[in-house]
Structure 1
């Protein structure tokens, strides 16, 4: 088998790998693409995806209320504003010193309470759809549904999708470059 035939055979194999992998993982690439676009636009979505950060009255931490007082206030606001029996399980506390705010993000329902760090006043109460979108994007949603602690679904999903993207990049490049190389070789041989 000569060099040109070998290259043509490799090109056919790469085309088959590219096509098969694309067909098998289409829905996953679709989800990654759509959620990636949404996450890229989250701060420019007019608060449809994530609440806008407000500005507090002081950026001096020494003037701020203690975190436990702010947390109690956030929980009270959430219960008074949304539902008295809403879960108060906290996902994280996000301190934005340069903005003078503290954000309390709740685990089960993705509500966010933004408080002025110095006064404890409510600055914003909003739903964080970005957390759900991020969980879809990286596969964490399956670990949440199946209540896994080591996040095996996220690890498997991101590994498969990362390897597939690498495979697409390599085979896609070769599908573009291979015919050019064959054409150039054919011109040299004539």
Structure 2
């Protein structure tokens, strides 16, 4: 009679464990790469540009109030007549302003920059290139009504960069404009990029 076949049972502890093959690690996505590049660039542009932004903001605020604050800009006087047929020629207005400012300074006032004629007030503002001086003259009588400095002109030169020369005006406007565009674009990307990265990352699969 044949002997019975003995079956050996292997416990679960003794069973060989399955070999786990690690999935290849993927590199960062393009969104993450651009986020890493954008952060230092945003910071490097933003920090030095803050000085120009503060200067432009503060001077712009002051210029917005120049017509309401006498310290910033002398108030407009009123002439004897608002009728143009009663007014004196502009060369007499200019001469009166130059003569009065020469007495006021005790020296030559320098060249005239421009004449700002105010028909609704009957006066002309004679503005000089040096010292930000303004002389208001009655258009009818050619009498000087006020002599004062225009702090608003100095503030405006700081606002547009022309205090360093006419060439610096275009340079400052270009740097400030391009810098603000870059900060707007990079700031929008730094806000939207992480959201996009989370959406593009596949969820982990259960094993």
Q: TM-score range by the shorter chain?
A: 0.7 to 0.9
Map residues 79-94 of structure 1 onto 2, 5 A cutoff.
Answer: 79-80=102-103, 82-94=104-116
TM-score scaled to structure 2, two decimals?
0.76
2-structure distance, mates of 1:42, 1:88: 25
Q: Pick the aligned partner of 1:6 from 30, 41, 48.
A: 30
Aligned residues: 179
Give the corresponding residue for 2:134.
112
**In structure 2, what is the equivalent of residue 75 of structure 1?**
98
Check whether the contact 2:117–2:125 (CA below 8 A) recurs between aligned residues. yes
Q: Aligned to 1:115, what secondary structure does the other structure show?
A: strand
Instruction: State the structure with more CA Rg.
Output: 2
- In the TM superposition, 1:1-190 aligns within 5 A as 5-44=29-68, 46-80=69-103, 82-143=104-165, 151-182=166-197, 185=199
3-state SS in 2 of match to 1:98:
coil
For each residue in 1:11-53, what CA deviation from the matched residue of structure 2 results, as whole angstroms up to 9, or x when unmatched? 3322222110012333222222222222222222x21111112
Instruction: Give 1:167 shift.
Output: 0.8
Tell which deviates more after alignment, 30-39 or 158-167. Answer: 30-39
What's the RMSD between the two structures over aligned residues?
2.4
Q: Secondary structure at the match of 2:66?
A: helix
Task: Structure 2: give runs of 5+ residues left out of the alignment.
Answer: 1-24
Structure 1: state its 5+ residue gaps: 144-150
Distance 1:9 1:39 in 2: 44
TM-score (norm 1): 0.82
Q: Determine the C-alpha separation between the residues in 2 that align with 1:108 and 1:5.
A: 60
Q: Hey, what's the Cα distance between the residues in 1 that align with 2:30 and 2:139?
A: 68
